[in-house]
Amino acid sequence: MGQNKALMPFLGQPLIARIVERVLPVADTLYVVANEPEIYEFLSVKLVKDVQPGKGKLGGLYTALKLSNDPFVAVVACDMPFVNPALLSFERQVLAQSNLDVAIPRSPEGLEPQHAVYRKKSCLPRVEKALAGDQMRMISWFESVKVRELGESEISRFDPYGAAFINVNTPAEFAMAEALARSIEGAG
């Protein structure tokens, strides 16, 4: 994009503000984990610097798990304008009612680790071990925990438009996402 996607205006507000607004009603505590948290001070939420800078998305998950006092930690990406709070709540419910460690949607593109909920107690040491072994993929440590994949029928109950996992990486994708938001949300 040539600029910070999270700060780009989406329907008149920074994209990250839209995501925070969507997630806040279902979050006990909300953190924005970033390499430069000070640029997000306008959000009025807890801002934290990556505990292990330079470790990518898995480092962000590690930071969220490490700092959270909650038993379940939801992780969402800053470039997903349709992050779905009802689906996140369902994922949390799946974990709360089981002895599972990760509740993660499976879209046609594959697993969606940046729209998933993780059990802190069991996931934190596994993520830490993955980072120590330079296994940087978000799912590189999944074989060591109990994972519950949510299928299409479960996801579509909460996401009938199939928009939850759309991320925006180009100006064209950004424009298409804004058009979709106007269409399904009746937004400006």
Which CA distances in Å does 172 have to 127, 175, 180?
Answer: 34, 5, 12
Residue 180 DSSP SS3: helix
The CATH number for 67's domain is 3.90.550.10
* Residue 51 banded pLDDT, cuts 50, 70, 90: very high
Mean pLDDT of 45-66: 93
Residue 62 DSSP SS3: helix
Query: What tokens appear for 49 in the block?
Result: 């610097």
- pLDDT > 90 in the chain, percent: 90
Q: Which pLDDT tens digit goes with each residue over 21-49? A: 999 999 989 999 998 899 999 998 999 99
Range of the structural domain that residue 165 is part of: 5-185
Q: Is the pLDDT of residue 61 over 90?
A: yes
The size of the chain, in residues, is 188
Q: Whole-angstrom Cα distance, residue 119 to residue 121?
A: 6
Q: Which pLDDT tens digit goes with each residue over 109-157? A: 999 999 999 999 999 999 999 999 999 999 999 999 999 999 999 999 9
Q: How many domains does the chain have?
A: 1
Q: Whole-angstrom Cα distance, residue 112 to residue 116?
A: 7
